[in-house]
Chain A
Amino acid sequence: MRVRLVYRQEGPARFISHLDVMRAFERAARRAELPLAYSQGFNPRPKLVFAAPLPVGTSGCREYVDLELEGDLAPEEVLDRLCRNLPGGLVPFGARSAVGPPLMSLVRRACYLAAGDLPRGFSAGHLEEGIARFLARREIAAERKTAKGIRRKDIRPGIHRLKAQSDGDRLKLTMKLEAGSARNVRPDEVVRALGVDLELDAESFNVLRTAVLSREGVLLWDL
């Protein structure tokens, strides 16, 4: 059977890379003595499928993983046991049984909330205008480090929504970005590019992923 788990990744754990998060779940599942299904072959791996990697430094409040189990176990039991066996910053808070295509193939959008310093003397009007100008650009270039070196990429097509709200000396950005496909955009890429336009201190931003959605905009939990 397959169990879908929704969890938060927070605190120090947001600095953990996706590969390390995967390994942490594997080990937690082993400590929890869950009857994990393993892949075939010379190097059997437990069947855990994550919805979408979280960029290093980003927290997540609704992240998903599917666990393939040999035999049946109540999802509440899976949840309970994993809660007790995961390190502090990985906190599951819901479990249900799941069917259908692999989790990661469903992902098309992700929503983020980024909060950071607003430069002095930045009016609300100023801000709105800046965002509008940013979104009106035909191309927004971002540089991404890959195994093959630095690659330039246009992130504009992957920005589906970007809104800004000022609160004293704080700036809050909400974003809906392309995810799970070749056009995916990382939240820090948007913050950095916008930072150049508006002269923001991009490093002052904390980013939280608030939702992972399907093409139809449905929360993965509800699929």
Chain B
Amino acid sequence: MTSLERILSRVERPARYVGGEFNAVVKDWDKTPVRIAFAFPDVYEVGMSHLGLHILYHVVNSREDALMERVFAPWTDMEREMRREGLSLFSLESHRSLADFDVLAFTLQYELSYTNVLNMLDLAGLPTAAHDRRAGMPLVVAGGPCAFNPEPLAPFLDAVFLGEGEEGLHDLVEVVKKHGRTRSSRAELLRALAGIPGVYVPCLYRAEYASDGTLAGVRPVVSGIPERVRKRVVQDLDQAAYPTKPIVPYLEAVHDRAMLEVFRGCTRGCRFCQAGAIYRPVREKNPGILLAQAAELLKNTGYDELSLTSLSTTDYSRIGELVGALVDRHQGEQVNVSLPSLRVDAFAVELARAVQAVRKSGLTFAPEAGSQRLRDVINKQVTDEDLLQAVGAAFAAGWHRVKLYFMLGLPTETLDDIAGIARLARRVLERGRECGVARGRLNVTVSTSSFVPKPHTPFQWEAQTPLPELRERQAFLQGALRGKNLVYRGHEPETSFLEAVFARGDRRLGAVLTRALELGCRMDGWRECFRFDLWQRAFSETGLDPGAYANRTYRYTDVLPWDHLDTGVDREYLAAEHQRALTGETTPDCRGQECAGCGLCPGLAVEPRVLEAGGGAG
């Protein structure tokens, strides 16, 4: 019996660590020149729900000269056993140590997974610091949304990939194939990587600080590499590689269903939303292609649910006919079509009603803020009336539980805006009673999280509301929401605080991450593992003030830690949007005729693709 087998009998859900799932690709290791491990810094069930994993797995494994395997962060019980047995972190496909791979490709989806990145390197027996890794050791690369400010992780990463990987990953494979096998000079390899559009090599840029400790700039230290690294973007999503044979996990993943990406990008321009900024422009896929991909997906996976995943799926120009056609074609096979997020209006609810034969759960809407004033500030173009019509339609259609999602601590927020959340929730409740929902079953749940100012958004200059104030506002809302049929769920503000610190942080935070890991911080996104006291200790021992990152208001003239990374959206546009926010002016959806002028399309030589409404699908 191997030591892995022995360990597996001691841990929860051993299926997380064995692989062997349907559609997993196991290639001949010795005959494949470039070997990449896709590393997801969270547990299996979370990572397997991530569409990006399936896309990149497909992109790399479609090549004859490259393979991609998977590795996830082991849960704490598994980590303990692995360390006790001296077992190196291994991939699920070939069960090889991560140290055997040419590239470890981490995805950064969430700031609170950063300690897991370091921990996974350590578990593989690799030095966490990039400058300690020698020739022959894997390249550590990261991508994903948080890669748009990777500075806190800069000391640990060899390269960072900005933007969409479908095409850029091929460039990476080519460079690794050319330089990696000889493994002669790591410096040479890094230099070559920095020549790939969209690739940022942190060690080739130096962070400089002013005498008061503020950042003065992050600048190239060698010639011939860009001052600002610009993201990659796929021009034609219809032609882009799409995984219609994704791995089907044994374990129930968080999203345990077939995922069909209907479009990429979002046109709404909510000012707090980083995804809305970094995935621009909107690119809708052709309904004929979507129908064909849906059929293949269902046939190749056996899933009984198909989720239309995009940032705001109901915005798809031909959503009605797409959903109609999907239901027509697949209802006979007992397939449910699902919409992950519902726009706040009656049309969206009508659509949900049409596809969901069973009202298995409640519906969730995200008005984000409690007053019209504040919703104008954040450019969330939803009115009280939109929400009341939406919930009215939901109650009339037989749903009796409604969940409303808001943020606390948004810029300019006052207590009256928070009271507005409670007022709105009560009106929703009232609408439920008017619609005749039985009092015993009627339920309105208000869920809040704390606003986190994110890089590359109009709110990037804004400070996060300080922790004590966030706690007070939560308590205030809790008090205002007492009552029958009302439930309030707050989110720990401490996690949002750390999220803000690392979202807005610079390279100096690397020391905090290292210390936090030593102190035992990991799986910080999990309530049962999160140890704020240890984090506070890590900050104080490294002499850094987390508040100086999270609660600092930047001036437009300040250098931001992510200024050398370019999403394609003009900084001037973000500043103008920020100004408009403060005066409560809204900006129209760029789906319409009016272009708000964010500068992305001309800059990246790309065009938004919005289909004409109507017409036959297919």
Contact = CB atoms under 8 A, between A and B. Distances in A.
Interface of A: 11-13, 15-17, 20-21, 23-24, 26-31, 33, 38, 42-44, 56-57, 85-89, 116, 203-206
Interface size class of B (residues with CB under 8 A): 20 to 34
Nearest to B8: A15
A42 B301 contact: no
Given A15-B8, A24-B22, A38-B334, A31 B302 contact: yes
Contact of B18 (A12, A27, A38, A42): A12
B252 interface: yes
14 contacts: A11-B20, A12-B18, A12-B20, A13-B20, A13-B250, A16-B15, A20-B15, A30-B302, A31-B301, A87-B248, A87-B250, A89-B20, A203-B6, A204-B6
B551 interface: no
Interface in B1-40: 1, 5-6, 8-10, 13-15, 17-22
A88 B247 CA distance: 13
Contacts, number: 73
B360 interface: yes
Contacts of A26: 302
Given A31-B300, A86-B22, A24 B250 contact: yes
A33 B302 CA distance: 9
Contacts of B248: 27, 87
B20 A43 contact: no
Nearest to B335: A30
A17 B14 CA distance: 9
B21 A87 contact: yes
A87 B8 contact: no
A116 B300 CA distance: 39
Nearest to B19: A12
A56 B252 contact: no
B333 interface: yes
B299 interface: yes
Nearest to A43: B358
Contacts of A23: 250, 252
B358 A56 contact: no
B611 interface: no
Given A38-B334, A204-B1, A85 B14 contact: no
Interface in B236-262: 248, 250-252
A116 B22 contact: no
A30 B18 contact: no
A68 B531 CA distance: 51
Contacts of B13: 17
A213 to B, nearest CB: 26
Contacts of A17: 13, 15
Interface in B274-305: 299-304
B3 to A, nearest CB: 10
Contacts of A89: 20
A204 B252 CA distance: 29
Contacts of B14: 15, 56-57
Contacts of A44: 334
A15 B302 contact: no
A38 B357 CA distance: 16
B180 to A, nearest CB: 30
A212 B13 CA distance: 25
A203 B8 CA distance: 10
Interface in B78-100: none
Nearest to A56: B14
B6 A31 contact: no
Contacts of A87: 20-22, 248, 250
A148 to B, nearest CB: 18
Contact of B302 (A11, A42, A56, A85): A85
A23 B304 CA distance: 11
A30 B304 contact: yes
Interface in B344-369: 358, 360
Given A20-B250, A87-B248, A204-B1, 18 more contacts: A12-B20, A13-B18, A13-B250, A16-B15, A16-B250, A23-B252, A24-B22, A28-B22, A29-B302, A30-B303, A31-B299, A31-B300, A38-B334, A42-B358, A56-B14, A87-B250, A205-B1, A206-B1
